[in-house]
Structure 1
Amino acid sequence: MSEETMLAGRLNVRTKEFSVKRVPVPVPGPGEVRVKVGAAGVCLSDVHLIEGLLTPQYLDGDEVTLGHEVAGTVEALGAGVESPPVGTRVIVQAGKKQGETVLTMGVDYDGGWAEYLVAPAVVMAPIPDDLPFDQAAIIPDAVSTPWGAIEWTGEVVAGESVGVWGVGGLGAHGIQLLRFVGASPLIAIDPIAEARERALEFGADIALDPADPEFAAKLGAATAGKGLDVAFDFAGVDPVRAQAIASLGLAGRLILVGLSGRPITIEDSTMFSYLRKQIRGHYGSEPQHVEQLIALAKNGRLEFSRSISGSIPLAEAADAVARLERKEGNPIRLVLVP
């Protein structure tokens, strides 16, 4: 009897070769379930993995199936699993614990750029029938990362003045979520005119070009001269951080979401201390953030249809990566559909 196979987008992390090829359908072990993938997001982190800018720390072997934003249907149960039952529509949360180590799906173990994936039953988050797979798939990173940064690390409350640098996949959702929690005024900053227009559509009050000679004056006018209560760096670029720090008011806090790997320079450390400014690092999200977002979507408080910039067949995953790398069409999120 021949082994059942499926399509999967595989990366050799040693040679940096990416291809969609046929591999065996995974079998769920004890405590695991197999999910028939409905949709999987294409994230800049996936591009960085292919380029070698990110390197898996705990991968067993040289190859991994990419994809850490996944939604689908539970299709088979491993030994000892009773819930979620077969047929349950789920988001697959993007991490699992191995001892005290947290492994990342699509990085340290096989992810969702495939027809099927296997993951622990405990990381399955059921979703309502009316939440489409493409919208559900992007929640575990593209939406939950900015939500975690806003709700948990940033501790943003209604009425605080907030600036968002970078209105790409994360920043666009950051704008939507900040509008939801009542940030005011909500100021978007991006050098790309189309991104600034999108920020206004997603709920920003003002959208500024960081290179505008009148930038500081316009931000000052928008905040009544007080500066920002909170600044979010979704870009991970040195000039952004310098401009954001300078834009903070008394006890203002900068939340670093974009990753650069570079040192942070505070040009005027005395004034930084005098005004009690803060810098806080943020990475990913916690399980409760995904569950909160599912509940908010279920109850009609949030809606993500505008976030899907294109649905691409899994077989054309390499083209999706190239489109994102080139920022073709300035996408928020592309999704792969098996």
Structure 2
Amino acid sequence: MDRMLAARLHVPSRTLRLEEVPKPQPGPGEVLVKVAAAGVCLSDVHLIDGTLTPLLLEGDTVTLGHEVSGTVAEVGAGVTAWTEGQRVVLYAGETRGGVTYTRGVDYDGGWAEYALSSAAALTALPDAIPFEQGAIIPDAVSTPWGAVTGTGAVRPAEAVGVWGAGGLGVHAVQLLRTVGACPIVAVDPNPVARERALAAGADLALDSADPGLRARIGAVTAGAGLAAAFDFAGVPAVRSQALSVLAPKGRLVLVGLTDQPLSVADGTRFSYLQQQILGHYGSDMPVALPQLLRLIEGGRVDFSASISGVLPLAEAARAVERLEKKEGDPVRLILRP
């Protein structure tokens, strides 16, 4: 039986190991993809450190990696939509029996030489887009895209705020610029992240500890406040701060994940102003991925600056360490088998 290398997480011990495992074989309706690039996400870090735990995983070990691009290596019986050699991006999850499973969490992902996918959970990657950029689209880009265009329903000329200008937040800034939001305010305690947000298109970048934050947001919005605020940090203090600068009927979109309680300090004010708090997770990938790939191919957005480094698969643990410790303030690190 053919073998391959994979970076696998033993969930009970939270141990990441590079292992030689059987190369998967595509069954009916499945496609085997030779992995070219796989993103390293903060969610992967949290799976390893125990902050997140797979809910639907069968067994206790899983190959990580939900951001994956590559080429079709083999197709299973009945697959006619894909042929060997095609460049593809894999969805970050699949729906089976009405239940959504996340790749690299609930079933084996792309930190490996090969990855399996349902034939319906792929999209074509245009030749003009490098595998590294293609790999990050299913989460780092499509998640903020879904938050901005779907859950947040941002309209042109609306004032918006982005809390957390990291791996997802900086892309939210770019995408908000693309849909015409104005002004765009980025909030982050890290000066490097603030500079990155300005380079991505933010009109104003503020330190969350700035005592004049509310006044500065008031000034840039002519006293109206923000029509929409996006929390990409998953921090209770961020949510309270964002609520304090929302406009009447403004909405706070929660993208960053946390197990901490959500509270509204002044419920009367919140209700009187008819504000909203909206939860967001992932994106409608069959719609979002082709949209985003067209925008990249058409030159409307460029995520090349988000690729902060490319490491071999054998250095998966080192990539996780770099992201966890924010060495060099990476947006996305890529593993290449």
- The match for 1:329 is 328
Partner SS for 1:125: strand
- The match for 2:300 is 301
Deviations 1:94-132 (A, max 9, x none): 111221211111011110000101110111100111110
- The match for 1:242 is 240
Deviations 1:294-317 (A, max 9, x none): 111122211110010000100100
Q: Provide the TM-score with structure 2 as the length reference.
A: 0.98
Distance 1:314 1:91 in 2: 18
Between stretches 34-43 and 207-216, larger displacement belongs to 207-216
Deviations 1:268-303 (A, max 9, x none): 111111111111000011121112111111222111
Q: CA deviation at 1:68?
A: 0.2
Partner SS for 1:261: coil
Residue identity opposite 1:328 in structure 2 = E
- The match for 1:94 is 92
- The match for 1:252 is 250
Q: CA deviation at 1:82?
A: 1.4
- 1:16-35 equivalences in 2 (<5 Å): 16-35=14-33
- The match for 1:153 is 151
Residue identity opposite 2:238 in structure 1 = V
For structure 1, the residue ranges without an aligned partner over 5 or more in a row are none
Deviations 1:18-57 (A, max 9, x none): 1112111110011001000010000011111111211111
Distance 1:56 1:213 in 2: 39
Between stretches 194-203 and 296-305, larger displacement belongs to 296-305
Q: CA deviation at 1:209?
A: 0.7
Contact 1:84 1:124 in 2 (8 A): no
- 1:115-154 equivalences in 2 (<5 Å): 115-154=113-152
Distance 1:223 1:300 in 2: 30
For structure 2, the residue ranges without an aligned partner over 5 or more in a row are none
Partner SS for 2:278: strand
RMSD: 0.8
Distance 1:21 1:227 in 2: 52
- 1:132-281 equivalences in 2 (<5 Å): 132-281=130-279
Q: CA deviation at 1:329?
A: 0.8
Residue identity opposite 1:215 in structure 2 = L
Between stretches 70-79 and 98-107, larger displacement belongs to 98-107
Contact 1:93 1:123 in 2 (8 A): yes
| Identity, % of aligned positions | 59
Deviations 1:141-176 (A, max 9, x none): 000000000000000011000010000000000001
Residue identity opposite 1:298 in structure 2 = E
Residue identity opposite 2:277 in structure 1 = I
- 1:284-323 equivalences in 2 (<5 Å): 284-287=282-285, 288-323=287-322
- The match for 2:77 is 79
Q: Provide the TM-score with structure 1 as the length reference.
A: 0.98
Residue identity opposite 1:336 in structure 2 = L
Distance 1:58 1:171 in 2: 28
Partner SS for 1:138: helix
Residue identity opposite 1:170 in structure 2 = L
Partner SS for 1:169: coil
Residue identity opposite 1:99 in structure 2 = G
Question: What is the number of residues matched between the two proteins?
Answer: 336
Distance 2:56 2:240 in 1: 34
Contact 1:26 1:34 in 2 (8 A): yes
Runs of 4+ in structure 1 off by over 4 angstroms are: none
